[in-house]
Amino acid sequence: MHELSVCQALIAQVEQLAAQHAATGVKSVHLRLGPLSGVEPQLLQDAYPIACAGSVAAESALLIDIAPLKVKCETCGAETEASPNRLLCGQCGDYHTQLVSGDELLLMSVELLTGVA
């Protein structure tokens, strides 16, 4: 389960952000995850509490948005959604496509807690 190591790296990044902004805690961590990222969302959710235990993010929530899998057709130029095991153009059905989105694992935002009310 490499999701634990992904979470550990994520928490290291979150702790750096919290330190830079003198945060006392973290309320939420928001990710954007593509179906071809190689990371399973549920396993990431399961590993998150383990990875952030004892850190500034110990009480935080992990929010995951699933990015759509999109391809651009090199034949007709259309940009359409595709499925992970079928990267075909949704317009003309051609297989000459380039991945536009769907392989990302992005830290979108971190909601920090500061002592200021």
> What pLDDT shows up at residue 76?
96
Question: What pLDDT was estimated at residue 51?
Answer: 96
Distance between CA atoms of residues 25 and 70, nearest Å: 36
State residue 43's pLDDT score. Answer: 96
* Sheet with 79-81, side-by-side order of all strands: 79-81, 70-73, 97-101
Domain 1-67+102-117 has CATH 3.30.2320.50: yes
Token duo for residue 20? 């830079």
Q: What's residue 115's pLDDT?
A: 75
Give pLDDT tens digits along the chain (117 positions): 589 999 999 999 999 999 999 999 999 999 999 999 999 999 999 999 999 999 999 999 999 999 999 999 999 999 999 999 999 999 999 999 999 999 999 999 999 998 765
Rounded to whole angstroms, the Cα distance separating 22 from 108 reads: 20
Give the domain ranges of the chain: 1-67+102-117, 68-101
Q: Which residue has the tokens 């830290």?
A: 107
The per-residue pLDDT for 1 is 58
pLDDT of residue 117: 56
